[in-house]
Amino acid sequence: MEIIYRKKFLKEAKRLPPKSQEQLKEVFDKLQQADSLESAGVDYKYMEGQQKGQNYYRIRIGGWRIGVEYLNPDLIAVTVASRGDIYKGFPPK
């Protein structure tokens, strides 16, 4: 699967603690090798409150959440934030 990284995501990822950055890298390595989000073996969940036709998911990494848009077979990494903050601005309205 191809992964597209938004600038906002890359900026936020640099601010994560080193251990979390390593976990983030491991998750994206799994995603790149997988054919789909379902077969990647990561903890993901469909985000509620979306408009019809949107495909936003969150991927859990410990206390951090990655906000992604899944356009099979591509994945767009939109944001990464703490468990409590991710739901304030994601998915975009």
58 within a domain of the structure (yes/no): yes
Per-residue pLDDT of the chain (93 residues; tens, 9 = 90+): 999 999 999 999 999 999 999 999 999 999 999 999 999 999 999 998 888 889 999 999 999 999 999 998 899 999 999 999 998 888 887
Q: Is residue 83 part of a domain?
A: no
Instruction: CATH number of the domain at 50, please.
Output: 3.30.2310.20
Asked if residue 44 is part of any domain, the answer here is yes
Lay out the sheet containing 74-82: strands in order across.
2-5, 74-82, 64-71, 56-61, 44-46
Number of domains in the chain: 1
pTM of the full structure: 0.90
- Per-residue model confidence (pLDDT) at position 93: 75
Q: Which domain holds residue 8?
A: 3-75
Cα gap 40→17, rounded to integer Å: 24
Q: How far apart are CA 42 and CA 34, in angstroms?
A: 10
- Between CA 2 and CA 72 the distance in angstroms is 9
